Amino acid sequence: MLKGIDPRVTPDLMDVLMRLGHGDEILVVDSNYPAFSVPTRTGRVVDLSGVNVVEALDLITRLMPLDGFTDYGALWMERDGAGDTPDPVHVEALAVITAALPEGAQVRSIERQAFYAHAAKTFAVVRTTENRPFGCFILRMGVVF
C-alpha cells in the first residue's frame, strides 16, 4: 500500500507508467477496442475494471506528465464520418486532458484507421470498461521538471 495513490491505480498500471520515458506513448481505450492485438512493442495490456475512460485519464494524468515539446501531448480517435467533431465521451475526456497539458501543448484528433496504425507503436494499452464507442486516446509521456 502506498499513501497518496488512488487505489484504482493498479500495480500493473504503476509499473507501465514507471517504465515510460520521454516520448513513449500509451493507449487508453474503451471496452470495444481490440486491446490484445495492438501493443506490438511490449504486448502489455493493463485492465482497469470498473473504471471508465475519463476516470482512467484522470488517474493517469495525475501521475504522468504529458509532452509539451512536440506537436501533440495527446491524440483522440475520431468517430467515422465526424471529423474532429467530438462525441460526449471526447468532450468529457478532453476536459481532463486539457487540464493536464503543459503550456503550449496540444491535443489533436486523428482519423480512426490512422489511430489504429499509430496505436500499434504504443508502449502499452490501458483497457477500461468504458462502454461508449470511440472513447480511445493516446497519451505521450512528457518530462518531469
Q: Quick check: is 22 catalytic?
A: yes
Query: Which is catalytic among the residues 22, 41, 62, 108?
Result: 22
**Who's near 105: CB < 8 A, 6+ residues apart?**
66, 67, 68, 72, 73, 142
Of 97, 117, 96, 126, which Cα lies nearest the Cα of 35? Answer: 126
Q: Give the residue numbers marked as catalytic.
A: 22
